[in-house]
Amino acid sequence: MVGQGIRWVVIALTMGFCLAAITDMVLEARGMRSISARIEAWSRTYPFYAGAMVLVFGALLGHFFLHPY
């Protein structure tokens, strides 16, 4: 069961990375702005939301790795 759970986490991460890379390939081929440029434009337009997402990311890091076993 544990192995299956980790397997799904790995599959979700792999699919997420692949989807992002394939989308970037399509955008590049069509001469459009990349995903990075779009996200950076969003984070510049909404810096507080971007900061909030960074805080959530930091909380997840601590939750995953600093919690005692």
Under the criterion CB under 8 A, does residue 48 sit at the interface with other proteins? Answer: no
CA distance 1 to 49: 36
Does residue number 61 form part of the binding site for other proteins (CB under 8 A)? Answer: yes
C-alpha separations of 16 from 2, 13, 19, 20, 67 in Å? 21, 5, 5, 6, 26
Q: How far is the CB of 41 from other proteins (least distance, A)?
A: 5
Token pair recorded at residue 39: 């996200």
Binding residues for other proteins, rule: CB under 8 A, are 1-7, 9-11, 13-15, 17-18, 21-22, 24-25, 28-29, 31, 33-34, 36-46, 50-51, 53-54, 57, 61-67, 69
